[in-house]
């Protein structure tokens, strides 16, 4: 069994896609052992509860400084002894200590085709606003390993999505989630659980 901790901040639709993927047998040999959230009262926490998954809320507001918050965050992950940490809409800069400890064991889903529309300031709806402002015709989503940069780690999988002329940031976000994120994130977790994902020299290969 691959023990997975899922880190969330808001709606939790990607968390739901993982929960559903496990339930319908699209993700094998995988168990979500804990959901870690930095925002109290968000929908993602309800989704965890509905699925009977233990959740922990670690809010920066409850700690004196960033260092204490990061230490609590790392503790809440460590306690669950995960094999894999999935950042599913987690809007927190991941503590360096966590990245070092879990090298090639943290993955993130990003709502664009990296290296376009990623890095500092590109998250959530802002990504789709920037895509529309630039007028690109194709966007998509990326699942990648997390390294010490911002959206710079080895890419595992990407899926393209068409931009429509009448799109708003909201309609585009929905299409990118439905057609790409909710498809490739569960798929990547399943590949990792099956031991089919290797990282060599900063590049990912998926073996048969």
Please report whether residue 142 would count as binding ligand GAR according to CB under 6 A. no
The contacts of residue 63 (CB under 8 Å, 6+ apart) are 69, 72
> 19-58 mask for ligand GAR (x: CB under 6 A)?
-------------------------x--------------
Residue 38 Cβ, how far from ligand GAR at the closest point, in Å? 12
The answer to whether 110 is a known catalytic residue is: yes
Spell out a b/e string for 142-153, using b for 16 or more CB atoms within 10 Å of the CB, else e. bbbbbbeebbbb
Q: How many Å apart are CA 90 and CA 149, to the nearest integer?
A: 15
Instruction: Name the residue number minimizing CB distance to ligand GAR.
Output: 89
Out of 4, 36, 37, 88, the only residue in the binding site for ligand GAR (CB under 6 A) is: 88
49 or 198: CB nearest ligand GAR: 49
* Cis amide leading into 115 (omega within 30): yes
The one segment of 5-13, 47-55, 63-71, 160-168 that binds ligand GAR by CB under 6 A: 5-13
For residues 21, 27, 33 and 39, what is the CA-based torsion angle, rounded to 10 degrees?
-40
Tokens 């509860």 locate to: 49
Is residue 135 a contact partner of residue 165, using CB atoms and an 8 Å limit? no
The burial class, CB within 10 Å (0-12 / 13-18 / 19+), for 104 is middle
Nearest to 137 by CA among 108, 113, 120: 113
Interaction pattern, residues 67-86, with ligand GAR; x per rule: CB under 6 A:
--------------------
Burial of 20 (0-12, 13-18, 19+ CB in 10 A): middle
Closest separation between CB of residue 156 and ligand GAR, Å?
Answer: 14
Q: Indicate which single residue of 95, 105, 123, 158 sits in contact with ligand GAR (rule: CB under 6 A).
A: 123
Q: Is residue 13 near ligand GAR by the rule CB under 6 A?
A: yes
Judged by CB under 6 A, the number of residues near ligand GAR is: 17
* Residues noted as catalytic: 110
Q: Which residues bind ligand GAR (CB under 6 A)?
A: 8, 10-14, 44, 88-89, 109-111, 123-124, 127, 177, 181
């Amino acid at each position: 069994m691959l023990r997975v901790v899922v880190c969330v901040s808001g709606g939790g639709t990607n968390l739901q896609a993982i929960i559903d993927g496990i339930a319908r047998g699209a993700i094998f040999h995988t168990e979500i052992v804990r959901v870690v959230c930095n925002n109290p009262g968000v929908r993602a926490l309800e989704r965890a509860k509905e699925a009977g998954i233990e959740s922990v809320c670690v809010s920066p507001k409850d700690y004196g400084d960033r260092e204490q918050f990061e230490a609590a965050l790392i503790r809440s992950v460590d306690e669950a002894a995960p094999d894999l940490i999935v950042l599913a809409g987690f809007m927190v800069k991941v503590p360096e200590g966590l990245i070092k400890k879990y090298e090639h064991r943290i993955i993130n889903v990003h709502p664009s085709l990296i290296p376009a529309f990623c890095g500092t300031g590109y998250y959530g709806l802002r990504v789709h606003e920037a895509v529309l402002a630039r007028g690109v015709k194709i966007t998509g989503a990326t699942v990648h390993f997390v390294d010490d940069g911002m959206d710079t780690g080895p890419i595992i999988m990407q899926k393209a999505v068409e931009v429509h002329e009448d799109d708003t940031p909201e309609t585009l976000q929905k299409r990118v989630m439905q057609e790409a994120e909710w498809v490739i994130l569960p798929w990547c977790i399943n590949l990792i659980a099956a031991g089919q994902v290797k990282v060599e020299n900063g590049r990912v290969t998926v073996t048969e």
